[in-house]
């Protein structure tokens, strides 16, 4: 009876809590990835005093879906923004990297040399790329939670919520041009439906050479000072009727409701900066049990496995220019992940977050138990969360290795995708797993086609060999049983068994052939299974374990969706104050100030780097190899409108106290008037653990200064067409600095 009453009261209770969260005072410092409808509740007087010249409605107006936020674009893993009335998009170099890789050949390596379209007819297609433009959002909490049956167990709860979400999304997308998503806030305390226009013809306009856009490479990644020109330009196209359409030569540039103006004023120390973007994931409301699992198992194992996979791919890449191009994106992604995970561990340990979380939870538990009513409502929450994480940790190493097999082998991943599609297509659409509904199949098709440009079979075999050897070393209680039956029979040492298995596996698969692979995309389950392809047979053998894992994950997620809202609710009642939900790839607003920091004793970092620093770091050898055109332009003494008055040089990158994480890459950083001053591309190493807890002393975001972007467009690439399209903000084409193009 108690659980039934709690469930029936949940919609009313949640609504009340959300209203309280929206009305409470804001948290201290510059912390906060705020929902757009929380902006009016922030301290407007304080923001105005710091330099904000905009009203909340000018940032986002829900009445008509206008404001700065309507110019911000989600690329599916990065953020970007419109900067012209003709659909021109600016983002980071590393966000456009896949488009450059797709269009590269050993004879014309755009990754190394960069690319600038001479006109719109020469802008390069990037099949499978999408740009999502916010149309609006609405609270759907009641619609989701009403679907949960009285007395439902955790698995039934998960399926009920998932089913409700799928129905809401399908109804939202009935018109055809929208991509809709229901996002869970505060672990399931509320649910919000986001509507986005899906622009699916996105083309590469300009990406600088790797020696500009990735200057410093993995050595400088996550570090300060930085001298990275991490920018690129794309363009969104639509059909002649103005509606989203697949790539066609007849398509025309998209006309956005709003685009950002470029600031010619730059930034100054302690000046206000605004951030709009799509941060991927933070874990600030996770408990000590999640911290412990991440610190002791997940991050260390990720670092080890990623490091070994990178080594294997780098060896393979040395064998041919074609292999180097095909492996470039995977190596870049893995290097970024490995350094991120190392920074996470260092940050968690140096901040003693695990101990701090345990102390906080002990105090919270004491507060809960001090009142009988609170004890009845919340007393079970922390112990049950601990139990859920114990269940999750029981097979953590096994599941990690199994997951890495699919992450690193494109052919095994393709085999699994084809099996899943053939199985799920036989079901009614609303009964399919998310990711395999009709709405998802065009994207699946594009990925299976696009993988041809990044598939090197020898490299695929090498990384799968690595993961099979990892599987051979798993303890007895975490063995991957299908592999033991297929590979590890004890006849010889594991390496010999793996090599013999791989010889047969790669000799018996045709999935590397695009025509064969795509012929199975529409095939029935029987035809896919009966294809006699060895890679599909391996995926089929592993399928029961993956299905069992999914069933267990459903139970775990169902339990957490029941427990986390209560935990967050208890935290709110205990702490008070305005709370923002953890990042989950939904659009957020943040503000901060331009400021350096002190990472350790006797070290103080300035807040801006300069072109002079690029020349000081340049060695002529990757990753510090600037293009000759940049070196020549940098040594020219002619007057420049891009100079910063403080450093008396062209600024390159700058720091601000903005709260960001993965997914914010490419996010527009604006001044108090809403003008674009920079593009966020990184965070500093010392604050990586801010995904778990924000540190106002050390947390900094790193931006490429928009003046450096335009200096490159002007002096290095002579991209007059793009400069003119963006309104010639520095008035270089008119000869303001004595130079006429």
Contacts of 504 (CB under 8 A, 6+ apart): 534
Closest by CA position to 336, among listed 656, 95, 625, 695: 95
Q: How far is CA 371 from CA 375, 376, 563, 571, 587, in A?
A: 6, 9, 19, 15, 38
> Which residue, of 513, 534, 563, is where some domain finishes?
563
CA dihedral sign of residues 83, 89, 95, 101: negative
Q: How far is CA 202 from CA 15, 89, 125, 205, 238, in A?
A: 39, 9, 7, 9, 9
pTM of the complete model: 0.93
Rounded to whole angstroms, the Cα distance separating 108 from 213 reads 17
Q: Are residues 358 and 326 in the same domain?
A: yes
pLDDT (tens digit, 9 = 90+) per residue, 105-160? 999 999 999 999 999 999 999 999 999 999 999 999 999 999 999 999 999 999 99
Q: Are residues 215 and 70 in the same domain?
A: yes
Closest by CA position to 720, among listed 738, 735, 701: 735
Domain membership of residue 341 (yes or no) is yes
DSSP letter at 438 equals G
Q: Are residues 514 and 659 in the same domain?
A: no
pLDDT (tens digit, 9 = 90+) per residue, 315-348? 999 999 999 999 999 999 999 999 999 999 999 9
Determine how β-strand 603-605 pairs with β-strand 72-74. Answer: unpaired
Domain membership of residue 374 (yes or no) is yes
Among all residues, which ones are annotated catalytic? 94, 230, 665
Q: Are residues 595 and 556 in the same domain?
A: no
Domain membership of residue 4 (yes or no) is no
Rounded to whole angstroms, the Cα distance separating 690 from 350 reads 12
By three-state DSSP, how is residue 181 classified?
strand
Contacts of 226 (CB under 8 A, 6+ apart): 216, 220, 609, 652, 653, 682, 702
Q: Are residues 230 and 300 in the same domain?
A: no
Contact present, 255 and 86 (Cβ < 8 Å): yes
Domain membership of residue 73 (yes or no) is yes
Contacts of 355 (CB under 8 A, 6+ apart): none
Share of residues in the chain with pLDDT > 90 (%): 92
Q: Are residues 277 and 299 in the same domain?
A: no
Q: Are residues 212 and 336 in the same domain?
A: no
CA dihedral sign of residues 31, 231, 281, 351: negative
Structure tokens at 505: 């596996």
Domain membership of residue 41 (yes or no) is no
Rounded to whole angstroms, the Cα distance separating 474 from 467 reads 11
pLDDT of residue 705: 98
Domain limits for position 533: 288-563
Q: Are residues 395 and 420 in the same domain?
A: yes
Domain membership of residue 46 (yes or no) is no
Domain membership of residue 630 (yes or no) is yes
Q: Are residues 429 and 501 in the same domain?
A: yes
Q: Are residues 374 and 469 in the same domain?
A: yes
Residues in the chain: 741
pLDDT (tens digit, 9 = 90+) per residue, 28-81? 458 999 999 999 999 999 999 999 999 999 999 999 999 999 999 999 999 999
Total domains present in the chain: 2
Helix, strand, coil distribution of the chain in percent, nearest 5? 50, 15, 35
Closest by CA position to 129, among listed 69, 202, 229: 202
Q: Are residues 244 and 382 in the same domain?
A: no
Q: Are residues 502 and 630 in the same domain?
A: no
pLDDT (tens digit, 9 = 90+) per residue, 595-651? 999 999 999 999 999 999 999 999 999 999 999 999 999 998 777 899 999 999 999
pLDDT for 495 beyond 50 = yes
Tell me what the mean pLDDT of segment 470-492 comes to: 93
Domain membership of residue 144 (yes or no) is no
**What are residue 272's DSSP bridge partners?**
593
């Amino acid at each position: 009876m108690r659980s039934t009453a709690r469930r029936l009261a949940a919609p009313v209770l949640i609504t009340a809590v959300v209203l309280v969260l929206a009305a409470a005072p804001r948290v201290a410092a510059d912390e906060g990835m705020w929902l757009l409808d929380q902006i009016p509740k922030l301290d407007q007087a304080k923001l105005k005093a710091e330099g904000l010249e905009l009203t909340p409605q000018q940032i986002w107006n829900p009445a008509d879906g206008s404001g700065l936020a309507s110019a911000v674009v989600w690329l599916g893993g990065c953020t970007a923004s419109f900067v012209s009335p003709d659909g021109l998009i600016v983002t980071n170099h590393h966000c456009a990297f896949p488009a450059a890789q797709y269009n590269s050949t050993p004879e014309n390596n755009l990754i190394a040399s960069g690319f600038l379209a001479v006109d719109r007819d020469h802008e390069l297609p990037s099949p499978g790329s999408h740009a999502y433009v916010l149309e609006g959002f609405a609270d759907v909490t009641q619609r989701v939670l009403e679907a949960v049956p009285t007395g439902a167990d955790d698995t039934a709860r998960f399926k009920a919520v998932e089913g409700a979400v799928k129905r809401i999304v399908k109804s939202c997308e009935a018109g055809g041009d929208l991509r809709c998503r229901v996002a869970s806030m505060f672990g399931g305390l509320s649910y919000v439906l986001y509507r986005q226009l899906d622009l699916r013809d996105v083309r590469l306009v300009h990406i600088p050479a790797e020696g500009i856009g990735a200057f410093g490479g993995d050595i400088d990644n996550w570090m300060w000072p930085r001298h990275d020109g991490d920018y690129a330009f794309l363009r969104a196209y639509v059909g002649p009727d103005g509606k989203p359409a697949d790539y066609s030569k007849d398509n025309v540039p998209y006309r956005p409701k709003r685009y950002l103006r470029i600031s010619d004023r730059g930034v100054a120390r302690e000046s206000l900066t605004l951030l709009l973007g799509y941060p991927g994931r933070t874990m600030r409301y996770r408990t000590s049990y999640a911290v412990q699992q991440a610190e002791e198992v997940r991050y260390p194992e990720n670092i080890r496995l990623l490091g070994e996979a990178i080594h294997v791919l780098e060896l393979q890449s040395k064998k041919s220019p074609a292999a180097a191009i095909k492996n470039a994106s995977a190596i870049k992604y893995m290097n970024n992940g490995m350094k991120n995970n190392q920074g996470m561990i260092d940050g968690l340990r140096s901040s003693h977050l695990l101990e701090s979380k345990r102390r906080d939870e002990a105090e919270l538990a004491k507060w809960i138990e001090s009142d009988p009513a609170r004890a009845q409502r919340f007393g079970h929450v922390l112990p049950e969360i601990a139990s859920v994480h114990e269940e999750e940790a029981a097979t953590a190493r096994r599941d990690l290795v199994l997951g890495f097999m699919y992450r690193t082998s494109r052919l095994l991943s393709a085999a699994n995708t084809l099996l899943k599609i053939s199985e799920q297509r036989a079901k009614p659409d609303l009964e399919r797993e998310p990711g395999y509904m009709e709405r998802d199949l065009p994207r699946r098709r594009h990925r299976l086609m696009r993988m041809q440009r990044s598939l090197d079979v020898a490299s695929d075999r090498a990384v799968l060999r690595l993961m099979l050897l990892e599987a051979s070393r798993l303890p007895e209680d975490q063995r991957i049983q299908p592999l033991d039956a297929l590979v590890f029979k004890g006849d010889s040492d594991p390496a010999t068994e793996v090599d013999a298995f791989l010889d047969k596996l790669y000799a018996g698969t045709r999935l590397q052939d695009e025509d064969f692979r795509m012929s199975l995309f529409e095939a029935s389950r029987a035809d896919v299974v009966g294809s006699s392809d060895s890679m599909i047979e391996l995926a089929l053998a592993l399928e029961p374990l993956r299905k069992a894992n999914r069933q267990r994950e459903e139970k775990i997620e169902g339990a957490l969706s029941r427990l986390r809202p209560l935990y967050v609710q208890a935290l709110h009642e205990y702490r008070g104050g305005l709370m923002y939900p953890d990042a989950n790839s939904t659009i957020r607003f943040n503000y901060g100030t331009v400021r350096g920091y002190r990472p350790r004793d006797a070290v103080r970092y300035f807040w801006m780097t300069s072109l002079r620093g690029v020349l000081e770091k340049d060695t002529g050898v990757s990753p510090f190899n600037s293009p000759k055109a940049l070196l020549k332009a940098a040594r020219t003494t002619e007057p420049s409108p891009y100079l910063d008055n403080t450093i008396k040089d062209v600024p390159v990158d700058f720091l601000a106290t903005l709260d960001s994480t993965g997914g914010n890459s490419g996010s527009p950083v604006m001044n108090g008037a809403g003008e674009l001053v920079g593009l966020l591309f990184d965070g500093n190493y010392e604050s990586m653990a801010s995904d778990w807890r924000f540190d106002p002393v050390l947390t900094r975001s790193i931006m490429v200064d928009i003046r450096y972007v335009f200096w490159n467009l002007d002096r290095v690439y002579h991209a007059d067409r793009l400069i003119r399209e963006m309104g010639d903000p520095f008035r270089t084409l008119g000869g303001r600095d004595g130079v006429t193009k």
